[in-house]
Structure 1
Amino acid sequence: MGCASSTVAVSGLNKSVKAGISGDGVLLKLEAAPWLLSTPTSVITTTAGTPLHVACEHKQLQVVQQMLSFLSCSPLCTVREALQPYCRRMGQQLPGSPAEGVRMAVDMVNCKGQTPLMYACTVGSPELVKLLLSQGADPWVGDRCGSRTALHYAAMSGSAACVEAILAHVAPRHMSRQGVRLVNARSFCGLTALHYAVFFDHTQAVAELLRHDPLLSAVTSSESYDMLCTCETLSSPLHFAAIKGNAETARQLLQHHALLPASTRGPDPRLQRNAAGQLPWQVAAAHDPCCPELVALLNPRRGLERALGLVPGGGPGSADALRTGPASLATLAAAVLQAKLRADLERALPHQEEEGEDEPKGDYDGLCGVCVAEREQVTPAGCRHGLCGRCATELCRGMQTARGGRPRPLGCPFCRREVSAFVAVASQPAGPSGGQAAACGGRCQLVGASGAVAAGGFLVEA
């Protein structure tokens, strides 16, 4: 009779949990029989989870909140009574405080070693994930079906929101263990969450995992995995993409690698071999049906940027441009200024050639102030510091090649006045004698002496 009455009580609480009865329905049942909280809902089921597991399975956020509130607000004797069935099954000591009881409850496991957090990830409920983590749930707990963590379950279900909830709301003490980051946690067979997300073609989950910089070179340690996830030992996530014939996922992985900084970027993942000595492209070629696009993408003989359709070098559309993000307003303004200055030079230089090259009047009169070798052809608007066409062109070219530093408007190499345009020497009005120094009132100062260089239409302090 005792067994029958307890079964009926558990069944009644189970129905209330599944129905999501709000208010005091669940609390009244727990106050009358606290032990129901950690009693298996049914001995017949294969999982034998607790009412907390059932609530998470059915996305009953309010019910979970009620159960955890019941524990946190109850005296220690009630908390111990509520968790006594679970402690007996697991051979654990009773909690020493209500707070410890809450942490024990959120980490309760069923007969497969699955926690309420894993259930929440399986059904794709980021709200439940955040709630359980805030109450002390341990994301490193592994199940008995391969030591898979809650992050593995989120990747298998394809819930990018749960992946983000775990990695963004986990307690700092749980971010890494024994030198391994949570995003790189491995199952018993060496699979990371990225392996699972790639295998099950969950592109959104893959993208969310890549935001947290997982290890692309992580390899498996066994040939037999759970479910249908099977391939050779030492297989990387890119091998898994090749097995599935998924070109989109493979492109995600390779583009993430290409955009990593050079200091942290490892070897090309396309060069990694599995235990059978196969490269990812060879695995893809053996896939039936074969995807020519995927084979070409994974072929290491093609440069990575070329395979991904990125522009080589550092211009727009290149890996460098994608790595740094959209251009700033200063960079866009610099490009406009550079185009204008080049247009000024194109108009001024032919004009000088038509006039002919007259001999300079003195040893240095009329010579370019930079190279002191060729005749002045253009000057920055607003001052009289002449430059030859070659030096003016190099000045514009340097605006695009130099890197780093904080930009500021480009100045004349002598007087440091802002250069907004170039004009032909012939179009300058006559001024006082005394050479270039007189044109700026004795303020001439070569840029080279200050160590400044031109970058993106702006001068940049070296």
Structure 2
Amino acid sequence: MGQGLSCATTQEHGLFSAMQSGDLDTVKAMLERDPSLTHQTTAYDRQSALHIAAANGRIEILSMLLERSVNPDVVNRHKQTPLMLAAMHGKIGCLKKLIEAGANILKFDSLNRRTCLHYAAYYGHSDCLQAVLSAAQSSPVAVSWGYARFVNIRDGRGAAPLHLAARQRRPQCVRILLDNGALVCASTGGYGCPGSTPLHLAARGGSLDCTRELLAWGADRLQRDASGRIPYLVALKHKHGACAALLNPSSAEPLVWPSPLKFISELNQEAKALLERALMDANREREKNILKGTAYSLPSPSHSDTGADDNISEASDTELCCICFEHVCTIEVQDCGHQMCAQCTLALCCHNKPNPTIACLNPPVCPFCRSAIVRLVVAKVKDCDDADQDIGEIGSPKMRKARKSRNFSSEGSSSFKGLSVMSPFGKMGGRGSGRMAAENEWVDKP
């Protein structure tokens, strides 16, 4: 990659060595004697003082250089900016400082025509990736290019940041990019095998976590690369048996995060975390069934709803979801106030094979009153004085009984007749489809 921070054997060598070691006093003294040193570069890679400070995380030195009006977009021999090096080495403090100083996040290097977003994704620095994406939302880039275009920006070989993150086994970066609008089924140009999707590249790298994330966001297991291979065949070729088992077209399909639904994009972080956890738990159960009895059996999940349920008192049984009677109500439909567990909420909203020709899905309806679900929040109840309380703070048996009666007495309660005795993921329409086997009027059409 040509990233060595070489130093000349002249006076600059002392300056650059002091910067690498973080010797602020020496750097200050040298620049006071000779201010022109701020514009000196190393002999071979043409690294400037700002490059060296950024790559080594020397934020005090970097700030001092910026205060001396050093160009934040100065480039080295490979047209890399200090911002790119900060993203490459995961120096979040320096990266944020450079962005504050007006560094251009849309600069391309001359090696692979990559931006700082590509570098953060490739090297797996999720905090840097998030900082660059946050900057893009409020910078001229969002106006001139468009935010969605920036998230899916291609390098010289046709790879978007999501492709790089998937190939390099960076599940956190994969999730952040998908959450910010990265195209889950986009094909590469010349990167990897031409026509590879992020799922092909995750299969090649053998990352179960990246594979899970991509499948949960609707990656197509049957999409072929330019050689006609589906991800399953790529995983087999590279001897990644567990990935191959999950990608096998004959295995059960995963539940898919319903990102096209408008209310999903407007979820607050707490509600979104509950739903994402429920989705991953459901897909983990699917994986255990697929891999059962094979050499790739998965360990038990690190978290379990069973442990949480063990802490619920006997008196709180009436707080269970009135659809499945297995899980505590954690999600509330804001307009009508009806509550259910995250698992049943997902059963209303999830699907298994997204149709790329459909820009958005019809919103699901509340199973209790049939009103459209336009916003979901974390469930809360009111005590006798109408004061809000969180789920974990409910203590009154009278309130629990009232809440259960409230859900059952709703006008549309008959819409889920027959569902009360089954697990929300126990009966799905089709194999692993994520649609609850209920009345057609509140099930998404295929």
TM-score w.r.t. the length of structure 1 is: 0.55
Equivalent residues in 2 for 1:46-125, closer than 5 Å: 47-71=45-69, 102=70, 105-125=71-91
SS of corresponding position for 1:235:
coil
Residue-by-residue CA offset, 1:18-68 (whole Å, 9 max, x unaligned): 221235x43443343232112212x1x3x2201111111211000000111
Q: Helix, strand or coil: the match of 1:269?
A: coil
CA contact (8 A) 1:27 1:67 kept: no
| 1:404 alignment partner, one of 363, 367, 373 | 373
Q: In terms of mean alpha carbon deviation, does 398-407 or 62-71 score higher? A: 398-407
Distance 2:198 2:404 in 1: 53
Deviations 1:101-123 (A, max 9, x none): x5xx1111111111101111111
CA contact (8 A) 2:162 2:182 kept: yes
Which structure is richer in relative contact order (CA contacts within 8 A, separation 6 or more)?
A: 2
CA distance in 2, matches of 1:239, 1:421: 50
Q: Which residue of 1 aligns with 2:248?
A: 299
Within-5 A mapping of 1:23-34? 23=25, 25-34=26-35
CA distance in 2 between counterparts of 1:195 and 1:406 reads 32
Match of 1:166 among 110, 132, 140: 132
Q: Go from structure 1 to structure 2 and tell me whether the alpha carbon gap of 1:188 and 1:176 turns closer, same or farther (over 3 Å shift).
A: farther
Deviation at residue 302 of structure 1 after TM alignment: 4.6
- Residue of structure 1 in register with 2:285 after alignment: none
Q: 1:58 to 1:168 in 2, by over 3 A?
A: same
Counterpart mapping for 1:271-310 below 5 A: 271-287=222-238, 289-291=239-241, 293-302=242-251, 304-305=253-254
Partners of 1:216 and 1:277 in 2: CA distance? 19
Summarize the alignment of residues 75-224 of structure 1 with structure 2, pairs less than 5 Å apart: 102=70, 105-170=71-136, 171-175=138-142, 177-179=144-146, 181-222=149-190
Q: For residues 229-271 of structure 1, what are the alpha-carbon distances to aligned partners after superposition, in whole Å with 9 as ceiling and x for unaligned?
A: xx321111111011122222111111123xxxxxxxxxx5223
Which protein shows a greater Rg?
1
Structure 2 distance, partners of 1:214, 1:250, is: 15
Structure 2 distance, partners of 1:277, 1:255, is: 23
Q: Identify the match of residue 328 of structure 1 among 332, 336, 353.
A: 332
**C-alpha spacing 1:400/1:181, structure 2 compared with 1 (3 Å):** same
Residue identity in the other structure for 2:119: Y
Which residues of 2 match residues 311-322 of structure 1 at below 5 A? 322=279
For the pair 1:248 / 2:209, whether they are aligned, the reply is yes
Q: Secondary structure at the match of 2:412?
A: strand
Q: Alpha-carbon deviations, 1:62-114, whole Å to 9, x = none? A: 0000111122xxxxxxxxxxxxxxxxxxxxxxxxxxxxxx5xx1111111111
1:190 aligned partner, one-letter code: G
Count the aligned residue pairs.
292
Cα drift, residue 321 of structure 1? 7.1
CA distance in 1, matches of 2:214, 2:105: 25
State the one-letter code of the partner of 1:30. L
Give the gaps of 5 or more residues in structure 1: 1-5, 72-101, 226-230, 258-267, 309-316, 337-396, 410-417, 423-446, 458-462
Partners of 2:226 and 2:68 in 1: CA distance: 52
- 1:235 matched residue in structure 2: 196
Secondary structure of 1:305's counterpart equals coil
| Code of the aligned partner of 1:34 | P
Alpha carbons 1:403, 1:455 under 8 Å: kept: no
Name the % identity: 29
